[in-house]
A and B are shown apart, each in its own frame.
Chain A
Amino acid sequence: MAKRIDISGLSAYYSAFKAIDDISMTIEPGSVTAFIGPSGCGKSTFLRTLNRMHEVTPGGRVEGKVLLDDENLYGSGVDPVTVRRTVGMVFQRPNPFPTMSIFDNVAAGLKLNGVRKKNELNDIVERSLKGANLWNEVKDRLNKPGSGLSGGQQQRLCIARAIAVEPQVLLMDEPCSALDPISTLAIEDLIGELKSRYTIVIVTHNMQQAARVSDRTAFFNLAAVGQPGKLIEIDDTERIFSNPSVQATEDYISGRFG
């Protein structure tokens, strides 16, 4: 049940510092959208505003609207907890719960939502692990700690954990930056498979990766250090990488920048 995200006039602050300024864009359902741009341009911050994780940071504050199929995430009466259940997230460094088994890691979100029946849990955990292309590697050691897996496996475990609660959107914050090339390939393949069911937004520093996995690409930039980050352009990935409409994008992509 992928959903469309409509962002309009969104700014995010850390206390008094404005990290991103007045961003508007539409993210299509069932597609992969990549955010690229230099360090500090606010692309990760922007990603975290899409499931209200930004306000967890001390001093974090957001202005503007994020519509998830016409419902504003920042509307009055909206519980951030419900938002985060609808919009899943995978982080830069794999972060399975260190004291839990592989099974319990995947089941953690389900248990929060009141799924208690053993059969149901078993089914969903298996489905999620299969969905994350991890099932075959871990099916014999579901009760071992998740921290015993390799980095790439841990990251796929985190993806399984995120999709187990059936979110409508999956946010990925540089999910491969801590992984080796083979694990990266596995995750990229997985993203390709997942996009039919989820709206996926991925932040990446790796432009080849953006080109490989995404349908649409958004380029962010900042005028100078200490200035807020801005959205320069968003377009089909093919166009961004072949014939971008803004000079700054071309400079960045061709390496003439930073």
Chain B
Amino acid sequence: MTTTAPPATRPEPHRAAKTVSRPGDRIFAGLARGSGILLLVVMAAIAVFLTVRAAHAISKDHGNFLTTFEWTPSLNPPVFGIAVLAYGTVVSSIIAMAIAVPIAIGIALFITHYAPRRLGGPIAYVIDLLAAVPSIVYGLWGALFLVPHLRGVNLWLDHYFGWTYIFHKEDPNSAARSLFTVGILLAIMILPIITNVSREVINQVPKMHEEAALALGATRWEVIRLSVLPFARSGIISASMLGLGRALGETMAVATVLSASPTLSGHLLDPVGGTFSQNIVAKFGEADDFGRDALIASGLVLFLITLLVNGAARIIIQRRKEYSGANA
């Protein structure tokens, strides 16, 4: 990393004379630059510190960190692994995406193309506000309202779709504190963010492309299919990945809803399993110093996953900017 620039006072007779820089300018520029560098340092520090503590923990793990189901770092010898957590995190996020993305695109289209013009603005505004509702409130609502209400849906799914294996429920009377419920709650939580970003992207579709389709005698849906969705596709993808990043890292809403246990079950309705962040919050209180290092190790894995997802989203957005710039 380039930390400091060479002093500006160094004489350079062969180049064009440099403008005299005032001390005020130098200090201010240095401060501004310093904050930028600090930000990079912090990012690097996060990676380094987490890795150091995680390596400490993993080196003493007597299970396989990747494939062990249990999380018992306090045993002697300690045994812990992320298999159940990784599975739960990925599965609940996939469920959330499968529900949230189509609905979010629907709402974005509703606001931009279907709602009466007077309604579109206020609806977008309200959805904006909903993105600010703290996740613990979603968690509280999910645990005390959604879980009892999904009981019937669970029974129904088990009854009619139990044969699909994934909707089979081992104990039909158990509460709906399953990965499936977590997925639904996460879907509700990430709806506003995906909707907002998609709406902005859809709003940027040039009018002239829509008019081109209209003038060919396209219906409203055909206009959307011909000119809106192709243009907005990469933006919608990156919006979805931002939502995915949130879903992967969500802590409190999962911790309140899921009935966790170190079991890996293909039946989505069974109240078992866990996620990275849920496990961290749940095990943190009782953990000793070594147990906390173990939790840090699992946090590092989560960090890397979200880093990948967000980085990919940003790169897609970046590409799209270049692409649309060439075509505008």
A residues apposed to B, CB below 8 Å: 51, 53, 56, 58, 81-86, 88-89, 91, 93, 95-100, 108-109, 112-113, 147, 158, 161-162, 165
Contacts and interface: CB of A to CB of B under 8 A. Distances in A.
A93 B222 contact: no
B212 interface: yes
Contacts of B219: 81
A53 B209 CA distance: 13
A85 B216 contact: yes
A84 B217 contact: yes
A38 B109 CA distance: 38
14 contacts: A56-B214, A81-B217, A91-B208, A91-B211, A91-B215, A95-B206, A95-B208, A97-B226, A98-B209, A108-B216, A109-B217, A109-B218, A161-B216, A162-B216
Q: Which of B209, B215, B222, B226 has the most CB of A within 10 A?
A: B215
A82 B215 contact: no
A84 B215 contact: yes
B57 to A, nearest CB: 49
A56 B218 contact: no
Interface in B161-212: 206, 208-209, 211-212
Contacts of B209: 95, 97-98
A93 B209 CA distance: 10
B10 interface: no
Contacts of A99: 230-231, 233
B215 A112 contact: no
A112 B212 contact: no
Q: Which of A58, A83, A99, A113 has the most CB of B within 10 A?
A: A99
A53 B207 CA distance: 12
A7 to B, nearest CB: 19
Contact of A51 (B208, B213, B215): B215
B327 interface: yes
Contacts of A108: 213, 216, 226
Nearest to B215: A89
A82 B212 contact: no
Given A98-B209, A98-B327, 4 more contacts: A95-B206, A95-B208, A97-B209, A165-B217
Contacts of A147: 327
A71 to B, nearest CB: 16
A45 to B, nearest CB: 14
Nearest to B220: A81
A91 B212 contact: yes
Interface of B: 117, 206, 208-209, 211-219, 222, 226-227, 230-231, 233, 327
Contacts of A88: 215-216
Nearest to B233: A99
A84 B212 contact: no
A165 B212 contact: no
A98 B231 contact: yes
Contacts of A85: 216-217
A81 B218 contact: yes
Contact of B216 (A82, A93, A109): A109
A89 B206 CA distance: 17
Contacts of B117: 58
A109 B219 CA distance: 11
A53 B213 CA distance: 11
Contacts of B213: 97, 108
Nearest to A51: B215
Contact of B212 (A83, A86, A158): A158
Contacts of B214: 53, 56, 84
Contacts of B218: 81, 84, 109, 112
B216 A165 contact: yes
Contacts of B208: 91, 93, 95
A88 B218 CA distance: 12
A221 B215 CA distance: 26
A81 B215 CA distance: 8
Contacts of A82: 217
Nearest to B229: A99
A51 B211 CA distance: 12
A95 B233 CA distance: 18
Q: Which of B117, B206, B212, B214 has the most CB of A within 10 A?
A: B212
Contacts of A91: 208, 211-212, 215
A-B pairs, 6 with minimum CB distance: A85-B217, A89-B215, A109-B216, A99-B230, A95-B208, A84-B217
Given A58-B117, A112-B222, A162 B215 contact: yes
A108 B225 CA distance: 11
A222 B210 CA distance: 30
Contacts of B230: 97-100
B24 to A, nearest CB: 48
B217 A97 contact: no
Nearest to B230: A99
A165 B227 CA distance: 18
Nearest to A105: B212
A154 to B, nearest CB: 11
A95 B226 contact: no
